[in-house]
Amino acid sequence: MNLTIKDIARMAGVSVSSVSRVINNSKPVNDHIKEKVEKVIRETNFRPNAVARGLISKSTNLIGVILPQINYISAELINGIEGVANKNGYNIILSNTRLNPDLELNALQLFKDKQVDGIILSSIDMSERHIQLIQDNKIPVVVVGQKTTDYAIPWVDVDNYRPITEIVRYLMRCGHEKIGMIHGPLIDKSAGDSRYRGFIEEMERKNLSVNPKFVGESNFSSKDGYLAMEKILKCEDIPTAVVCASDTIAIGAKNCAEDLGYRIPEDISIVGFDDIELATLVRPKLTTVQVCFETMGSKAMETLLQSIEFKPVNIENYLDYRLIIRDSVKVVADDLGTKI
């Protein structure tokens, strides 16, 4: 079988504790012994068993990551998480809950069994049972994509409301007034409802009326975006600009408009949200809101790290965003006095 610390001790003619000491640099060891041990370790390629270490130290250097699905957005998130985790000696262990809240609970349990040092949770809907379990488990948790301030659980999320109000104001400055929106599921309080409210309320504040026929719902997919746009364009009167709750929706909507003979942005302007890679690959390039999911991941991991190390953590962590103006919005009139 594999070598153990005991074998090394025997081969080096010292005690196991001495071996442990040189491995962990935990206590001063005589140079003489140290060299002997290091020599044996080098020659045998010995590596201490991480599981045994974990059993005693209560730390596995594992971070549990719970995701409702694994797509290109998760990929960016994982990239961010993995980046700072790795830099700090942690590995990440993944659980895909396939949009099933019960599996999220399972994963929370399982990760506790496996004694992970911390958990990053992207839940589709934080229930009381989630909160309960998290608080019982006593394992540091950071939530992403949802705001759990009420429960004193640290989170990192985008502001879903303000960017949309900025989009509305930008469209107005470009001369648009008949503005529609294709939003996400309103049950989804973050990317769904908040973005929708941002639109409705900003339109109200600016005294622009929202034609209900200009508003459609989707599940964030391109296909749904296409369908929603189709419905909007069937009316006699159509909007001059449509705000979409995601880039994928926007691209579906764009394809639909084009299939129906409209040109983007000449006939209809379209704005997306997220700034996925696609947004620059599609023609015209999509005007959208940039939110960096990789940053979301790294920020989440950083706060998790602080929590693990018992440092003070910010409960609320808002992500930066930026309106990215590209080619999918027509400038009807520019009251900024500058070329946009």
Angle between helices 5-12 and 16-24 (to 10 degrees): 110
Query: What's the min distance (Å) between Cβ of 58 and DNA?
Result: 8
Cα-Cα-Cα-Cα dihedral sign, residues 332, 337, 339, 340: negative
Q: Out of 35, 39, 44, 52, point to the residue binding DNA (CB under 7 A).
A: 52
When asked if residue 95 is in the footprint of a copy of itself (CB under 8 A), the reply is yes
User: If contact means CB under 5 to 8 A according to the sort of partner, which of a copy of itself, DNA, none does residue 28 touch?
Assistant: DNA
140-199 residues in contact with a copy of itself (CB under 8 A) are: none
Determine contact, residues 55/48, Cβ cutoff 8 Å: no
When asked if residue 281 is in the footprint of a copy of itself (CB under 8 A), the reply is yes
When asked if residue 124 is in the footprint of DNA (CB under 7 A), the reply is no
20-49 b/e (C-beta count within 10 Å ≥ 16 → b): bbbbeeeeebeeebbebbeebbeeeebebe
Give the binding-site size for DNA (rule: CB under 7 A): 30
Determine contact, residues 116/63, Cβ cutoff 8 Å: yes
Query: What's the min distance (Å) between Cβ of 120 and a copy of itself?
Result: 13
User: If contact means CB under 5 to 8 A according to the sort of partner, which of DNA, a copy of itself, none does residue 33 touch?
Assistant: DNA
β-strand partners of 215: 181
Q: Out of 11, 38, 45, 49, point to the residue binding DNA (CB under 7 A).
A: 49
Nearest-angstrom CA–CA distance, 118 and 95 = 14
User: What is the SS3 assignment for 28?
Assistant: coil
The tokens for 316 are 């609320």
What one-letter code names the amino acid at 260? Answer: L
Query: What's the min distance (Å) between Cβ of 35 and DNA?
Result: 10
Q: Out of 33, 131, 319, 331, point to the residue binding DNA (CB under 7 A).
A: 33
What one-letter code names the amino acid at 223? Answer: K
Residues that bind DNA (CB under 7 A): 1-2, 4-6, 13-18, 20-21, 23-24, 26-30, 32-34, 48-49, 52-53, 55-57
Residues that bind a copy of itself (CB under 8 A): 45, 47-52, 54-55, 60, 62, 70-72, 74-75, 78-79, 82-83, 86, 91-96, 109-110, 112-115, 136, 222, 251-252, 255, 258, 278, 281-283
